[in-house]
Structure 1
C-alpha cells in the first residue's frame, strides 16, 4: 500500500467530519468520499480497501463523535471502531465489485453501474447500522449533512434520507473515476445533481409550506425543573394563549404510569392555560411495588382532562434498559386535530414519523430530553435530524427539548423558530396543522430495505466468486 492511500483515506475522514456539526459544511460531503474511493481503486485488493475504509471511519467518527467520551468514557473507542467497520465493509465490497467489472472488460457503462452500485450498497449498510441491528444508531447518516442545503433536501420527500445518502455516495464514486479517464459517470451524476437542485428550488418556490390551519404552539425548554417552574414558563401571557403546549420528555416523574393524582396536579397547575397540552412523563421501575418502567406523553385537552397517551417506540440502548418498545404507534386525536407524537430518540429513526403520516397525523409533536451536559456539537447533531422527518412526511414538526434546541420546522424542512441551547423558557411560534404524506411515505421508503437486500446480494456474489477461485 502506497503512503498516499492512507493519507487520502484520512483526508476523506476529515472532510466527512467537516460536513457535520459543529462545522456544518455540508457541501464538502459531495466530495468527501472521493479521495477514499480513489485510494480503494488503487489499492491492492479488497483487504487493503477495507483497511482504508476503516481508517476513514476512525478519523471521521473519532472527531465527530468525540462527545461520546463524556458519555461512555473509554468505551467510546469501541463505538468508534464499530462505526468504522461499516466503512471498511463498504470499501471491501465496492472494491470487489470493481474487480468484477474489470474482469468483464470495464468501460464507461460498467463504471457507471459500479458508481450506482456503490451508492446503493452505502445506503444498504447505513440503513442496517441505523435501523435494523441491535445497536442501531442513525447518527451521522450521510444524507443528514444536507439539512441546510434546502433544494437538495427536498428530494427526501421522494427517497428519504437513505436515498439521498445513496445518491451522494454514488456521486463521490463517480468523481473518483475521473483520473481513470472514465468521465461518463461523473457527467451523469453531475447532471442528475443539477436536475435535483433545480427541482428542489422550484419546489421551495411553489409548494406552500402553510397548509391546513395555523396554530400557536408553546414549547417549554427546561431541564430537571419542578412542576412549578414548568408551569411558570407555560403561563406567561404568550404561552398561556397558545393552542398547543408541549413539555419535554421526562418533564414529570410519576410513581406509576397510572397516577391520577399527578395528572390532576398538572391539570391544576395549568388550569389557566387555554392550550391542549402534551406532557413528557417517565416512570422508574420498582420491582418491590411491581411498577414497570415507562416513558410516554400524556395528552391533555383544553380542560386539562386526559384524552390520549403515546408510549415511546425506541428505547435508548444501555440507557433505558427494561423499557418496553411501542410496537404499534398511532396518532392521538384531539379537538385541535390529529397529533403525531414521537419521543426524542423515536425521531432519529425514519419509521415512526412515516407511520404517523400514513395514519393521518397532521402535526409531529416531539418531547425530547437532551441533557444540559451535552456539548454544542451533540445538541446540534441530534436536532439536525429533525428536519429530515418533516421533509420526508410533509408534516410540520414541533420539538420541545429539555436544554435545546427546541424547534418549529415546516413541512419543507425549514426551521421557522428555534430556542438555542443553554436557555430556559417557552418558545412561542406559529405552526400549521394539516394533511401530510409524500411519495416517500407511500412508496419511496422501500428504497432503504431494497438497498439492504442489494448489499447482501453483492456480498453473497463476491463470497461465491471468491470460493470458486479457491476451488
Structure 2
C-alpha cells in the first residue's frame, strides 16, 4: 500500500492546527503530543523531497494559526513572519523522516523537535521562539518538570509522549498483520506497548511527588509595579506617549502619598513598564523632570522603562533604568532580543526591504543589549527582561547564574491588547518564574501586570486596560534551579543527538539501497526497492521483501 502525498499532507495539516490548540486561548496540553503523533505518522517512510513538502504543510498551518495575533501589526507582517517560521520545517520534515529509519526512533524524533525549537529560537536575526511546547504546560502535570528540565527538557518529554504513541500505532499495525488479534492479546506484546508510557509517566510523576521547592528563608521585601495604561484605543503608545508617561508619574505619586499616610507599606522599589517613556529621559527635560518628581514622591528607586538614544543617532536602546531618589539614574539593562523587522530592520538598505513601506515606521534600529548580570536595585539583585526577552532562555538563565534573587519583566505589548498574544506572553512569564524558582514581578503598560510566585501561581494582578498599582511581598533567594544550571546542556545534548541520528538515518538508507541491488549491479524492474520499503513502512506493514531476499 502506497501512502499518497495528499494523504500525508492532509494529516500534517491537521497536526499543525492541533499544535496551535496547545496555547491560549484553547490551552489544551494534550494537543502537543497529538500534534507530534500526526506529524510523525505523516512523515514515516516518506522520501526526503516529499518529507520537506509535508513539513512545510505542517509548519505553514501551525505558524499562520499560532501567529494570527500578528495581524495587529499588519497583515503583511503576519504573512512575512509566518512564512519565515514555516521555512524551518523544510529541514525538520526530512530530519524526522531520516531518524525514523533507526531503532528507538521515538527518542530521536522527539529530540529532533526540540532541536528545531532551539534553532528557531536563535537563528537567524536572533530567532523567534514563540510556540515552544514548554510554553503550553502551565497548570498541567508537566509543569513540575520545568525547574528540573527547563524548556528544552520539558519540550522533549511532551514530544516524546506523542512519538511513543506513533510507535504504538505502528507496532499495533505490525502485530495485527503478523499475528492477527491473537498477537494483541499476548501479555508480552501488550507489556511492550505499555512500557514506554510507564517510563514517561514515571518521569512526570516523580516531579509531581517531589516538586522543586525554592528556598523560603530569604529576605522578604515589598515590591510594586505601576500600570499606567494607554489613553484612547489603548493599542498605540506613540501618539499619546507623553500622556502615558504622565499616567505612570501620577500613579507613583499616589502610591507615595498612600505610603506616607500609612495606607500602604513602603515598597523596596517600584517597576515601571517598557515604554513608560518613549523619548530619551536623559535628553528630554520635561520627561526627566516628571520622573524625578515621581521618584522623589515615592522615596525609593524606580526601574523606568525608557527609549535611550545611542551614540549613533540612527540607533536606539530599549532600557530598564534604575532611578534612585537621591543619586538619579544609575544601573541599566538593555533589551537583549529586539524583534527583527519590528524593532530593527536587517539589511535596511537592501532593495527587498526598501520596497516594504511599513518599514518606514521604524526609522531607527534598536541595538541588542549584552548584559548578563542582574541589576542592583535598592540592594536587591534583580534579573530583568524586557517584553519578548521573556520568550528566550538565555537572559534569565545567565542572570540567575550570576546571583539574581528575583526577576522582573517590563513589557509594552499594547499593540496586541485585543489579541491572544497578551495571554500567551503572560503564560511564558509564569513559566519563567516556575522554571527559575524565583518570584517575578511583571509591569505591563496596560496589561497583564502582576506578581508571580516561584511555583508559577499568580499572587496579585490588576485588570488590563486600567491604571493602577499592583504590590505585594516577594521572598528573595539566590538559589540556582537545575533548569537554570543545566538547561543549556540539555538543549545541546538533544541537538547533538539529532545531528548524529540524522546522519545515522542517512547512512542506513544508503546501506539499505545497496543491499537491495543484485550482485550484478542492476535493480529489478518495477518500483525502486527503497520506495517499496518506505511505502510498506509508512502503512505499518513492515519492510517490503527485496529482490535479494526473493532469490535467496
| TM bucket normalised to smaller | 0.7 to 0.9
Question: For residue 67 of structure 2, what is the aligned residue in structure 1?
Answer: 65
Of 207, 218, 222, 2:224 maps to: 218
SS in structure 2 of the partner of residue 252 of structure 1: coil
How many angstroms apart in 1 are the aligned matches of 2:194 and 2:217?
38
SS in structure 1 of the partner of residue 142 of structure 2: helix
SS in structure 2 of the partner of residue 33 of structure 1: helix
How many angstroms apart in 2 are the aligned matches of 1:361 and 1:185?
46
RMSD: 2.9
How many angstroms apart in 2 are the aligned matches of 1:52 and 1:188?
30
How many angstroms apart in 1 are the aligned matches of 2:480 and 2:129?
22
Question: For residue 194 of structure 2, what is the aligned residue in structure 1?
Answer: 187
Contact 1:144 1:388 in 2 (8 A): yes
Question: For residue 31 of structure 2, what is the aligned residue in structure 1?
Answer: 28
- CA deviations 1:367-388 (Å, max 9, x no partner) are 1111244433111122221123
Q: Which has the larger radius of gyration?
A: 2
Question: For residue 105 of structure 2, what is the aligned residue in structure 1?
Answer: 114
How many angstroms apart in 2 are the aligned matches of 1:448 and 1:185?
29
Matches within 5 A, 1:143-162: 143-149=134-140, 151-162=141-152
Matches within 5 A, 1:94-109: 94-99=96-101, 101=102
* Residue 11, structure 1, aligned to residue 10, structure 2: no
Quote how far apart the aligned CAs of 1:247 are: 0.5
Of 277, 291, 298, 1:266 maps to: 291
How many angstroms apart in 2 are the aligned matches of 1:71 and 1:184?
52
Question: For residue 306 of structure 2, what is the aligned residue in structure 1?
Answer: 281
**Structure 1, 50-59 or 140-149: larger mean CA deviation:** 50-59
- CA deviations 1:239-278 (Å, max 9, x no partner) are 7732221111121234475778854541223322143311
Quote how far apart the aligned CAs of 1:117 are: 0.9
From the superposition, tell whether residues 420 and 456 of structure 1 become closer, same or farther in structure 2 (CA, over 3 Å). farther
How many angstroms apart in 1 are the aligned matches of 2:314 and 2:7?
59
**Structure 1, 195-204 or 330-339: larger mean CA deviation:** 195-204
Between Structure 1 and Structure 2, how many residues are aligned?
455
Contact 2:295 2:324 in 1 (8 A): no
Question: For residue 429 of structure 1, what is the aligned residue in structure 2?
Answer: 472
SS in structure 2 of the partner of residue 249 of structure 1: coil
Question: For residue 104 of structure 1, what is the aligned residue in structure 2?
Answer: none
Of 402, 405, 408, 1:365 maps to: 408
SS in structure 2 of the partner of residue 25 of structure 1: coil
Matches within 5 A, 1:251-400: 251-255=276-280, 257=282, 262-263=287-288, 265-284=290-309, 290=313, 292-301=315-324, 303=326, 305-321=328-344, 322-400=365-443
SS in structure 1 of the partner of residue 100 of structure 2: helix
From the superposition, tell whether residues 185 and 232 of structure 1 become closer, same or farther in structure 2 (CA, over 3 Å). farther
Question: For residue 93 of structure 1, what is the aligned residue in structure 2?
Answer: 95
Contact 2:417 2:447 in 1 (8 A): no
From the superposition, tell whether residues 79 and 50 of structure 1 become closer, same or farther in structure 2 (CA, over 3 Å). same
**Structure 1, 327-336 or 152-161: larger mean CA deviation:** 327-336
Quote how far apart the aligned CAs of 1:355 are: 0.6
Question: For residue 106 of structure 1, what is the aligned residue in structure 2?
Answer: none
From the superposition, tell whether residues 439 and 461 of structure 1 become closer, same or farther in structure 2 (CA, over 3 Å). same
How many angstroms apart in 1 are the aligned matches of 2:264 and 2:193?
52
Any unmatched runs of 5+ in structure 1?
102-109
Contact 1:233 1:239 in 2 (8 A): no
Contact 1:158 1:392 in 2 (8 A): yes
Of 244, 247, 250, 2:275 maps to: 250
How many angstroms apart in 1 are the aligned matches of 2:197 and 2:461?
34
Question: For residue 416 of structure 1, what is the aligned residue in structure 2?
Answer: 459
**Structure 1, 127-136 or 220-229: larger mean CA deviation:** 220-229
How many angstroms apart in 2 are the aligned matches of 1:396 and 1:184?
43
How many angstroms apart in 2 are the aligned matches of 1:378 and 1:239?
33
TM-score, structure 2 length as denominator?
0.75
From the superposition, tell whether residues 161 and 414 of structure 1 become closer, same or farther in structure 2 (CA, over 3 Å). same
How many angstroms apart in 2 are the aligned matches of 1:72 and 1:326?
27
Quote how far apart the aligned CAs of 1:446 are: 1.0
From the superposition, tell whether residues 184 and 368 of structure 1 become closer, same or farther in structure 2 (CA, over 3 Å). farther
Contact 2:268 2:378 in 1 (8 A): no
SS in structure 2 of the partner of residue 181 of structure 1: helix
Quote how far apart the aligned CAs of 1:35 are: 2.0
From the superposition, tell whether residues 463 and 133 of structure 1 become closer, same or farther in structure 2 (CA, over 3 Å). farther
**Structure 1, 86-95 or 254-263: larger mean CA deviation:** 254-263
Contact 1:240 1:272 in 2 (8 A): no
Of 25, 43, 47, 2:49 maps to: 47
Quote how far apart the aligned CAs of 1:126 are: 0.7
From the superposition, tell whether residues 351 and 379 of structure 1 become closer, same or farther in structure 2 (CA, over 3 Å). same
Contact 2:272 2:303 in 1 (8 A): yes
Quote how far apart the aligned CAs of 1:186 are: 5.6
- CA deviations 1:350-396 (Å, max 9, x no partner) are 01101111110111111111124443311112222112322232221
- CA deviations 1:397-437 (Å, max 9, x no partner) are 11101121112122222222233432232122332222231
Quote how far apart the aligned CAs of 1:93 are: 1.2
From the superposition, tell whether residues 462 and 259 of structure 1 become closer, same or farther in structure 2 (CA, over 3 Å). farther
